[in-house]
Structures are given as C-alpha cells and as structure tokens.
Structure 1
Amino acid sequence: MKFLPIAVLLWFFHMDALCQDYELKKYSQQLRVHHDNDFFVLTDRYYSSGLFISYQKMLSKGIFGSNEQLKFRLGQEVFTPSQTQSTNTDLFDRSYAGFSGLQTTWSLAAQSELFKIQTLFGIAGINSGAGGFQRWYHRAIVISDSPIWIDELSDSFHANLYLSYIREWNISPNPFGINLAIHPQLALGSRDIYTEAETVFHFGRRNIIGESIAFERLGNNSREIYFALRFAYKRVFYNGLIEGNLFGDNSPVLRSTTKNLLKLGFDFNHRFNRNDYRFGVRYNSKETPNSKGHAYIVLSYGFSW
C-alpha cells in the first residue's frame, strides 16, 4: 500500500509517454453524449438514470469579448422510489418523477476563474416520457422487472436559474499536476432552490481552467489525462421533483426533503485530440427522511471540431 502513490505517478508518466503526437488545434465546437445510471452499481432507485445530448460552441465575439462559451443540453431524467414493485404508495420514500428539458449554459473564463449562468426549462410528469422510456429500457435491454410507475408526479412546467463561480489554484505543474478548485452554486426556480459548495482536487495532466475538459471547456486539444476527487455540501430549500412544483401541485405522492446533503465523487477524464472521455462515480446522502444514500455511474463522450 505504501508504494501506491509511486505506482500512480509512474502510471501517469507511462500513459503520457504512450500518447501519440498529433497536430495541436483550437476546436471551437463540440457534440457530447452523457449518461448517468445506477444500474451499473446494482441498484435501481432514486436518481435512476439520466440521458443528455449537448452542443457547445466557443463564441468568436461574446458579451465581454473572448473566452465565452455557449452550450445547449437536451436531457431526460428518471427518478423512482426504492419500492419499485409496490402498489402501496404510503410506503414510497419519494414519488415517481420524470423530467425532460432544455438547459442553456453561458460561461466566461478568466485566468484562474470561471463564471457560469444556466437556465433550465422543462416538463415534469407523464408528458416528460421518462416513465415510458424506463419501462421500454427494462423490457428491451435490461430484461428485468420494470418499476411499475404508479401515481407519478402530475404534469407541470418548470423554470430554473443556476449561478456558478469557480476559482482554481495550481499546486503542482504538469505532467503530474495538482489543481484545487472551489465551486459555489446557487439555484432558484420552481424545480430547485438550493445553495451548494463544492471542492474538487484534480491529479494529472490538465489544461488551464478555460480550456479543460474538467469544466467542459473548448479551445485546446492538448491531451489531458487525470482523475478528480469531489466533495460537496448542499443546502436544499426546495426540490420540485420530490415536493411538487413550487407554484402549486396536486400530485398524489409528495414528500418532504432532507435539507442537508453530502455529495462525493470520483472522475477519470481523458482528452485526446478531438475526443473527450469521462468515467465517474457519484454519491449523495439521503434526499428524503425515509430514503437512503445513493450512488450512480457517469459516462460521457464528446467529439470536437
């Protein structure tokens, strides 16, 4: 065990040496597919899955000049109680909830800082299509009993605003770099009201904050290969996919939320020329008084041009 840090260091140098050289370019557009799923950690509850496709582009002339980026992400999220085969809704630790929506992100990078403004508009409930998609997924791909999806959240429209600030410090240079970032976030809207404070450590070869896959930024295709450790505290004031729409909801199953959440994460990231790869694991403590902590896998691939 005492040789583990040395082995990790040697592995990074080995991978860095094996990477084949290619022409350095400044790609300004990217198409990305992202998938979250707890099936890979042998559960099927709470945040069960998420499927997203996004397009992002560097702006040649933004509001404040250069270093601005715009992203559009279309996604669908699936949430279920842990009692997926029960018809007794009194036992549910949360309701069945699906959400489909469009998120827009504007970001501005400085030397060691990143500012983000995000808007989210979408539909929760049966018309989100999430319940039907999960049932099809279990029949056609997983070949297992599907959650029965009774008394799902009623259809409602949601709008949300997210404000983020990231500040980063470089502790050690490449190739085995160490970076520390803090990431406070504020959410306001009918779906989410919360504050979150995250600390992230990056270990390995990485580009600067405004050009790194770490923050889904474009502008530099220099290879990156690193892993990240994430620690976050989230203070929840309202969760519309558990408590119902903030502006009124007649759903048959609504629950109260846990106000204080702990979130942990691990990522492995690799950028090679046009291609961005990410594998990660996420964990959060229980979101309702009667639920449990939950973990899921993150998979992502982006192609730039």
Structure 2
Amino acid sequence: MFKPTIAFFVFLLTATFVFAQSDTAVFRKELTITTENDNYNFTKADRYYSNGLFFKYQWLPKQPHNAKLVQKLHRAEVGQMIFNPHLNRRSLSQVLEQQDRPYAGWLYGSYGQTNVYSNSRVLQWDAIAGVVGPAAKGEEVQVNYHKIIGLYKIYGWENQVQNEFGLNASVRYYHPLTVTNAFTLHAAGKATLGNTFTNASVGFLLKAGKMDNEISTAYWTGRLGSAAKNRRHKTEAVFFLEPMLQAQAYNATVQGGMFRSYKGNYVSELNPFIYIIKTGFVIAGPLASFSAYYHVKQREAKSMIDPLEVYGAFAVSFRFR
C-alpha cells in the first residue's frame, strides 16, 4: 500500500520545488507524465482497468492566433493501458473459472490539438493509432512489474484478446454555461470512432477555485505562451468535477478485435449505457503543474462481477522553452 503514497509525495515535492522558480520566463513546451492505477483507490486488487502510463508532449505553434481562436496547442502522446478480470491470482484454474472480462493491453500513439476560443469554448481532437492484444505487451509489463516490487503472481493472461491494429479518432467539446473568476460550468460532449473504441458521451464540467480564465488555465495547458506575472494568479488551484453518461458501441479490450474472426478465448458483451464520474484537482505554478484525479465508472461489460470500476491517477507537468 506504499506505492500510491510514495508516488503522491514524490510528485508533490517535485512540483512544489519548481513552483518557486522565475515568474518572468515564457515557456512554449510542456511534458506531462501520468500514471493511472486501480491501487490508487487504496485497495489491493488489480481488476478491470488495472494500470495506465502516459507521456504527453504539448507545444505552441509559432503562427499568430486569429481573433476567435485565442489559444492553440499541439499534442503528441504515447501510452499503454492494461485490463484484467475480477480475479488474477491464487491459481490458473480458479482465475479462469471466475473470469468476468478479457485480459487486454492497449499500446498507442496519438497526435491532437486543444483549441480555446475567445468566448471560452474549448475543442479538443486526437488521431490515434495503436495495437490491442499480445503485441501491446500488457502481460510482460504487469508480470515483470509484480516480480520487481514483490507482488503476487499473475495468472490468466492466456485469455487475453488477440492482436489487432487500431485506428481511432476522438473529439471533445466544452460549451460554456457559466463563467466567473472562481467558477465555470461547461456542457461537455465527447465522441470516439474507430475499430478499437467507438462511443459517445454527454455531461458537464464544473471547475472552481483560484484559477485563470480558459485561455490561460493549466487545466487546458494554457500556461504556455505567457509569463506568470501577466496571469490572473501566479499559482492556480483548480478543483473539477466531470460527470458523463456514455453510450458504448464497441470496445476491443472487452469484445476483441472488430475485424478478427477469432477474437480470443474469452470476450464479453458491452453494457450499452454507462456513467463515468471524474473528479480531482490541478495545482500549477510558473514551471510545473501537479494533478490528481479519481475515476468512478460503471462496469463496461455485462459479465463483470463488480458494479463499478474505480481508479485514481497522478500527473506532473514540466514546462520549458
């Protein structure tokens, strides 16, 4: 149980140290490292969405913005996600008897943009390419990680979904309903289309705290391109809540590859509608940001034993010229 606590304080101490740096420098690039894990909810189980690790690089273009598009950010990301059933220890026979969703890994790279408009509208999009199945190396990462830190042996990866290359596109739009200096409420819509994930979501994004406007807030990586002394707050502290209702059409980590006739030894049927609640905070200074958030997600497969998937995340961002 020390893993999430140690990660939290390492990230927090690192971010706190760099918050004290210059408030006159202008930075145009940012690197973000994010770790997601179901153990960050202080349980001892690797179930459902078990682990995610992501590296994201964002940068400002050199061309000037037009009157309506006041902030434009480019984004490149690589990441891996690992999915397990309810039980993955004790013995192979017991695990396979109680398997309630497939084992799966998803390894991907993406390019996207964040566009912030003068009326506080935000549009994000990403083009994503990756692979689901053994080529994603989910088994190797999880098994070897457990060996290194002395955790229990993992059983059942024989029943992971089979390899399939995936092409996906996603878009997220946030429309302002209420915007003040300390409180914002956006209507939110999201959609993903592809042979790995196809879904659509609607909901709200509520942000509150000591925060800059939508153009400059660290929530949208808006701290690039201007000096800290020119912002509303030298240090931001933003708390957010984002409840969403999602319609699922396809998920290859649950159903296997869309275009494969043999999808794996075990696949599941999707729940057509689920809810997802994300909440957390972002603390940002001139040179760095630290964020932590918590996900509560209704089970995405009808066969899953637990009614909810719960996981947490920590992220640290560093800005540079």
TM range (shorter): 0.7 to 0.9
Q: Residues 266-285 of structure 1: matches in 2 within 5 Å?
A: 266-285=279-298
Whether the aligned pair in 2 keeps the contact of 1:60 and 1:66 (CA below 8 Å) is no
Residue 86 of structure 2 corresponds to 82
Cα separation, 2, equivalents of 1:209 and 1:146: 44
- Comparing 217-226 with 35-44, which one deviates more in the overlay? 217-226
Cα separation, 2, equivalents of 1:249 and 1:219: 50
Q: Does 1:239 align with 2:251?
A: yes
Q: Are the structure 2 counterparts of residues 209 and 142 from structure 1 closer, same or farther at C-alpha, using a change threshold of 3 Å?
A: farther
Whether the aligned pair in 1 keeps the contact of 2:291 and 2:315 (CA below 8 Å) is yes
One-letter code of the match for 1:108? N
Query: Which of 107, 111, 117 matches 2:114?
Result: 107
Cα separation, 2, equivalents of 1:52 and 1:20: 26
Query: Which of 272, 275, 279 matches 1:262?
Result: 275
How far off is 1:165 after superposition? 1.1
Deviating beyond 4 angstroms after TM superposition, the runs of 4 or more aligned structure 1 residues are 19-22, 62-66
Q: Does 1:94 align with 2:101?
A: yes
How far off is 1:126 after superposition? 1.0
Q: Are the structure 2 counterparts of residues 62 and 196 from structure 1 closer, same or farther at C-alpha, using a change threshold of 3 Å?
A: farther
Q: Residues 285-300 of structure 1: matches in 2 within 5 Å?
A: 285-291=298-304, 292=306, 293-300=308-315
Cα separation, 2, equivalents of 1:47 and 1:227: 24
Cα separation, 2, equivalents of 1:304 and 1:127: 33
Cα separation, 2, equivalents of 1:116 and 1:122: 19
How far off is 1:108 after superposition? 1.5
How far off is 1:22 after superposition? 4.6
How far off is 1:248 after superposition? 2.4
- Matched position secondary structure for 1:209: coil
Q: Does 1:301 align with 2:301?
A: no
How far off is 1:192 after superposition? 0.9
- Comparing 262-271 with 246-255, which one deviates more in the overlay? 246-255
Q: Are the structure 2 counterparts of residues 206 and 219 from structure 1 closer, same or farther at C-alpha, using a change threshold of 3 Å?
A: farther
Residue 208 of structure 1 corresponds to 213
Whether the aligned pair in 2 keeps the contact of 1:168 and 1:209 (CA below 8 Å) is no
Whether the aligned pair in 2 keeps the contact of 1:162 and 1:185 (CA below 8 Å) is yes
Give the aligned CA root-mean-square deviation in angstroms.
Answer: 2.1
Residue 15 of structure 2 corresponds to none
Deviations 1:128-149 (A, max 9, x none): 1111101111111252233441
Q: Residues 1-305 of structure 1: matches in 2 within 5 Å?
A: 22-41=22-41, 42=43, 43-61=45-63, 67-85=71-89, 86-87=92-93, 89=96, 91-111=98-118, 112-173=120-181, 177-217=182-222, 218-220=224-226, 221=228, 222-250=234-262, 251-291=264-304, 292=306, 293-305=308-320
Whether the aligned pair in 2 keeps the contact of 1:165 and 1:185 (CA below 8 Å) is yes
Cα separation, 2, equivalents of 1:302 and 1:142: 29
Whether the aligned pair in 2 keeps the contact of 1:114 and 1:210 (CA below 8 Å) is no
One-letter code of the match for 1:202? K
TM-score for both structures, normalised by structure 1: 0.87
Deviations 1:97-149 (A, max 9, x none): 00111021112210201112211100111111111101111111252233441
How far off is 1:63 after superposition? 9.1
- Comparing 164-173 with 101-110, which one deviates more in the overlay? 164-173
Q: Are the structure 2 counterparts of residues 163 and 62 from structure 1 closer, same or farther at C-alpha, using a change threshold of 3 Å?
A: farther
| Percent identical residues | 18
- Matched position secondary structure for 2:140: helix
Q: Are the structure 2 counterparts of residues 75 and 172 from structure 1 closer, same or farther at C-alpha, using a change threshold of 3 Å?
A: same
Whether the aligned pair in 2 keeps the contact of 1:154 and 1:249 (CA below 8 Å) is no
* Structure 2 residue ranges without an equivalent (≥5): 1-18, 229-233
Q: Are the structure 2 counterparts of residues 172 and 110 from structure 1 closer, same or farther at C-alpha, using a change threshold of 3 Å?
A: closer
Whether the aligned pair in 2 keeps the contact of 1:59 and 1:66 (CA below 8 Å) is no
Residue 5 of structure 1 corresponds to none
Tell me which of the two structures has the higher relative contact order, counting C-alpha pairs closer than 8 angstroms and 6 or more residues apart.
2
Whether the aligned pair in 2 keeps the contact of 1:199 and 1:232 (CA below 8 Å) is yes
TM-score for both structures, normalised by structure 2: 0.82
Instruction: Work out the number of aligned pairs and report it.
Output: 284
Deviations 1:252-305 (A, max 9, x none): 211111111111122111001110100111110111112121111110000001
- Comparing 163-172 with 112-121, which one deviates more in the overlay? 163-172
Whether the aligned pair in 2 keeps the contact of 1:179 and 1:202 (CA below 8 Å) is yes
How far off is 1:62 after superposition? 7.4
